[in-house]
């Protein structure tokens, strides 16, 4: 394994842990859907911005899924793995497409990723978990969670881009 691949793998592992901890740090239950609002989206997006679509998706999906398992939301774990992975991959791809405008890329990528998250959980809750249209009750909470995560990730990403190591390794 090349040193650069090993570095990416280690960074992805650290971001998976960060996603898990950020998700578990503040966890506000949503009785209407048996889900919860958390701060993990900021870590998912930041990982996507810094690691790129593949490693960012792996870190965001696995770390967020682990938090679901540890918090007792095992029914959400498979959906979270897929939803947060897709969210991170899309955010990273949009950022990459707008690489000449990194702040705009981070904001637009984050918005696209958060849209995937909100719609993904609605679909998962309504179909797989069987909540039907009652799953729509989670949309406002997920939207707020997404906007807070987006704001945090874009701000931290903008600040980190000034560091030479981040500029050199960020994808």
Q: How much is the pTM?
A: 0.93
Domain 3-169 fold is: Arp2/3 complex 21 kDa subunit ARPC3 (1.10.1760)
* Contacting residues for 131 by C-beta, under 8 A, at least 6 apart: 33, 125
What pLDDT score does 29 carry? 83
How far apart CA 162 and CA 104 sit, in angstroms, is 16
- The 10s digit of each residue's pLDDT in 13-59 is 999 999 999 999 988 887 777 777 889 999 999 999 999 999 999 99
Per-residue pLDDT of 71-84, as tens digits, reads 999 999 999 999 99
Q: What is the DSSP string of 24-63?
A: HHSEEEETTTTEEEESHHHHHHHHHHHHHHHHHHHHHHHH
pLDDT attached to residue 162: 87
pLDDT cut 90: percent of the chain above it: 80
Measure CA 66 to chain center.
13
What is the pLDDT, as a whole number, of residue 171? Answer: 63
Show the tokens assigned to 167.
Answer: 């500029």
pLDDT attached to residue 15: 97
Looking at residue 36, its pLDDT comes to 77
Q: Do 150 and 45 form a contact (C-beta atoms < 8 A)?
A: yes
Using alpha carbons only, what angle is made at residue 143 by residues 28 and 147, rounded to the nearest 5 degrees?
Answer: 95
Lowest mean pLDDT among 16-25, 34-43, 113-122, 149-158: 34-43
For 37, list phi and psi in degrees, rounded to 5. -95, 140
Lowest mean per-residue pLDDT among 31-45, 63-77, 134-148: 31-45
């Amino acid at each position: 394994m090349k040193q650069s691949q090993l570095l990416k793998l280690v960074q992805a592992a650290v971001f998976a842990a960060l996603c898990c901890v950020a998700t578990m740090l503040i966890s506000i239950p949503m009785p209407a859907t048996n889900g919860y609002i958390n701060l993990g989206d900021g870590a998912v997006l930041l990982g996507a911005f810094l690691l790129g679509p593949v490693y960012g998706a792996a870190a965001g999906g696995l770390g967020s899924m682990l938090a679901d398992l540890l918090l007792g939301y095992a029914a959400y774990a498979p959906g979270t793995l897929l939803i947060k992975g897709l969210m991170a991959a899309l955010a990273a791809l949009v950022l990459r497409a707008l690489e000449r405008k990194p702040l705009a890329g981070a904001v637009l990528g984050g918005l696209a990723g958060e849209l995937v998250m909100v719609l993904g959980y609605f679909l998962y809750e309504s179909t797989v978990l069987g909540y039907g249209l009652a799953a729509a009750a989670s949309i406002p909470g997920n939207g707020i969670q997404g906007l807070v995560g987006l704001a945090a990730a874009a701000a931290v990403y903008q600040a980190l881009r000034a560091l030479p190591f981040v500029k050199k390794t960020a994808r």
